[in-house]
Amino acid sequence: MAEAGLRKLVIVGGGTAGWITAAAFARLLGHSLEIELVESEAIGTVGVGEATIPQIIRLNAILGIDENAFLKATSGTFKLGIEFADWGRIGSRYLHTFGDTGMNLGNVAFHHYWRRSTFGEAAPDPQGLWHWSLHQRAAEEARFGKLDRVGNTAMTGLAYAYHFDAGRYARFLRAYAEARGVTRTEGIVESVARDGESGDITTIALAGGREVAGDFFIDCTGFRALLLGEALGTGYEDWSKWLPCDRALAVPSERLPVLVPYTRATAKSAGWQWRIPLQHRTGNGHVYSSGFTSDEAAADTLLEGLDTKALGDPRPIRFTTGRRAAFWAHNCVGIGLSSGFLEPLESTSIHLIQSHVSRLIQLFPQGGDAAAMRGEYNRRCAAEFAQIRDFLILHYHRTDREDSAFWRYCKHMEVPDSLTHKLELFAAAGRVGRDVDDLFRDASWVQVMLGQGIVPAGYDRMADQIGEDQLAAFLADLRRVIERSVAGLPRHEEYIARHCAAEPLDAAA
Ligand SMILES: Cc1cc2nc3c(=O)[nH]c(=O)nc-3n(C[C@H](O)[C@H](O)[C@H](O)COP(=O)(O)OP(=O)(O)OC[C@H]3O[C@@H](n4cnc5c(N)ncnc54)[C@H](O)[C@@H]3O)c2cc1C
């Protein structure tokens, strides 16, 4: 590779991935790199990707983006977690929140005290844990506010992320990046030229004859993976046997009458349906497996499941869950959908863009041979993808549902050993066998394991250190403090009106 004297970075693609990449590089390495982004309005973007996880707050902080200005520009709302309806069984419901549940005592996690309190019951309700969830209570009442701590206790406050309009988000980041020196070129890439000796990409040729040369290329061309996949021939690992959904239909609908601060994911007979509340409209989509239902039936399911009037026809999207065999090959890195796709159940794709960009900036070659950086980048991205994959499989596999061929398949499929180990450990003793650098915290694994219906057989023996009366008083006090805190929060709607109301715009836009 010829990275020596890397001066010119070319980003191909102007969706969420392209513009996050451009914004972050301009902010952090703009002093030493010339950055050009090529995109095609004629091809357009995937147009979905509107729910996030709290790590996006860190990205905004690095970019120096003001939260209120950002939500105003993107018609955004706040998100306390994802409500999973009908997953473990039809009728079940739980919120995978971004925060803790209850409060740990000493070294013992709260769910062990909860489990101890239910120990004599023949069939404890796993969803009982959520009585001690500040996020659940705030979500139920559609309240939101900034809360670092609950009262004067050690209980952590509200952790949150955002929902936003994908098109407006890309435009917002484009304005940010262009203001910091990124050059945007409109054009369709028709071919990619490589150096005969090294195999590195040297130029891309646009329709109309223009050529764009660069030292390093970032492929943000979406599912097509024009550079990393097509030009460099990097293969794809298909994970459909574990995550069989391969299609989606997306449709906007009118805004919800009550602006709830959470995403909803409702399980359907061959997949699931999302609902994302924005200020001016609601985002909806049905993610499904073409092996278990038809496109027509999937569209009917989507439209029947809407809470508000549709603002257009369902738009189809096809995908294969999995990842590129390498995320970085030669002088090209794929970021966004070009690097792989983990279906949107836990809103992880925008986070993966952010995480890949920051990793790439940390490992960006100065010159000479980049093999060590490339190896490290590929190793860490691969581990991250596999960890998220296991967390997603958990939702499908740990179910009592057998009411359709899809759910029977998911319930009885073989899963990766890494997940089997975690399931067994939690079922036996409520322990989380999480990897140290796993994106999802213990609190997330606990909530999804319980939410899907696993009640651990045992609990941490250290939870027996307090007496029965002390335990009862502890649990009752926590509930009181949580109720008081929630009652003091403004309505989500009021908070937005006061701080970050979007300009009124066409709802379907
Ligand atoms: C159904 C679904 C739901 C999703 N929901 C979420 C969610 O809730 N949360 C989340 O975090 N993520 C979600 N995602 C993922 C998210 O949408 C993507 O990670 C994000 O939008 C980034 O996409 P991208 O920029 O990689 O690709 P795209 O948006 O497809 O952009 C590709 C870009 O490449 C350009 N391009 C392509 N070919 C050429 C060419 N030949 N010449 C020039 N330009 C070209 C296009 O014009 C475009 O600008 C979802 C994805 C799907 C499929």
Tens-digit pLDDT profile for residues 72-121: 999 999 999 999 999 999 999 999 999 999 999 989 999 999 999 999 89
- Assigned token pair, 82: 């994802």
Between CA 163 and CA 96 the distance in angstroms is: 16
Cα–Cα distances in Å, from 185 out to 73, 191, 217, 291, 431?
23, 16, 15, 40, 52
Domain with residue 264: its CATH number is 3.30.70
482-498 pLDDT, tens digit per residue, is 999 999 999 999 999 99
CA 86 to the chain's CA centroid: 20
- At residue 436, the pLDDT reads 81
Assess whether 341 and 218 both reside in one domain: yes
Contact 404, 292 (CB under 8 A): yes
20-53 pLDDT, tens digit per residue, is 999 999 999 999 999 999 999 999 999 999 999 9
Residue nearest to atom 6 of ligand 1 (CA): 49
211-254 pLDDT, tens digit per residue, is 999 999 999 999 999 999 999 999 999 999 999 999 999 999 99
How much is the mean pLDDT over the chain? 95
Domain with residue 172: its CATH number is 3.50.50.60
Percentage of residues of the chain with pLDDT beyond 70: 98
Between CA 145 and CA 489 the distance in angstroms is: 6
- Angle among Cα 395, 320, 296 to the nearest 5 degrees reads 85
333-385 pLDDT, tens digit per residue, is 999 999 999 999 999 999 999 999 999 999 999 867 899 999 999 999 999 99
Atom in ligand 1 nearest the alpha carbon of residue 50? 8
Q: Is residue 498 part of a domain?
A: no
Assess whether 172 and 159 both reside in one domain: no
Assess whether 140 and 176 both reside in one domain: no
Query: What residues flank ligand 1, with Cβ below 6 Å?
Result: 13-18, 38-40, 43-46, 48-52, 166, 188-189, 220-222, 224, 226, 248, 285, 287, 317, 319, 336-338, 344, 347, 349-350, 353
Q: Is residue 484 part of a domain?
A: yes
How many structural domains does the chain have?
Answer: 3
Q: Is residue 2 part of a domain?
A: no
> What is the extent of the structural domain holding 183?
8-50+165-240+321-385
- At residue 509, the pLDDT reads 55
Percentage of residues of the chain with pLDDT beyond 90: 93
Contact 20, 59 (CB under 8 A): yes
Q: Report the separation in Å between the CA atom of 46 and the middle of ligand 1, taken as the mean of its atom positions.
A: 4
Residue 206's closest CA among 228, 184, 222, 177?
184
Pocket test for ligand 1, best of 46, 164, 173, 355 (most atoms within 8 A of CB): 46
Assess whether 354 and 476 both reside in one domain: no
Assess whether 482 and 421 both reside in one domain: yes
- At residue 1, the pLDDT reads 44
Q: How confident is the model at residue 2 (pLDDT cuts 50, 70, 90)?
A: very low
Between CA 105 and CA 131 the distance in angstroms is: 17
Q: Report the separation in Å between the CA atom of 13 and the middle of ligand 1, taken as the mean of its atom positions.
A: 9
Residue 396 has pLDDT above 50, yes or no: yes
Q: Is residue 61 part of a domain?
A: no
* Residue located via tokens 């701080």: 499
Q: Report the separation in Å between the CA atom of 67 and the middle of ligand 1, taken as the mean of its atom positions.
A: 23
Q: Report the separation in Å between the CA atom of 221 and the middle of ligand 1, taken as the mean of its atom positions.
A: 8
Residue 343's closest CA among 482, 244, 413, 471?
244
Between CA 296 and CA 274 the distance in angstroms is: 18
Assess whether 441 and 295 both reside in one domain: no
408-459 pLDDT, tens digit per residue, is 999 999 999 999 999 999 999 999 988 888 899 999 999 999 999 999 999 9
Assess whether 220 and 335 both reside in one domain: yes
Residue 446's closest CA among 158, 108, 142?
108
Residue nearest to atom 37 of ligand 1 (CA): 221
Residues labelled as active-site residues:
79
- At residue 308, the pLDDT reads 98
Residue 31: half-sphere exposure toward Cβ, Cα within 13 Å: 1
* Residue located via tokens 């070294």: 107
Q: Is residue 409 part of a domain?
A: no
Is the pTM of the predicted complex or chain greater than 0.85? Answer: yes
Atom in ligand 1 nearest the alpha carbon of residue 287? 1
Q: Please tell me the chain's helix, strand, coil percentages from 3-state DSSP, rounded to the nearest 5.
A: 40, 20, 40
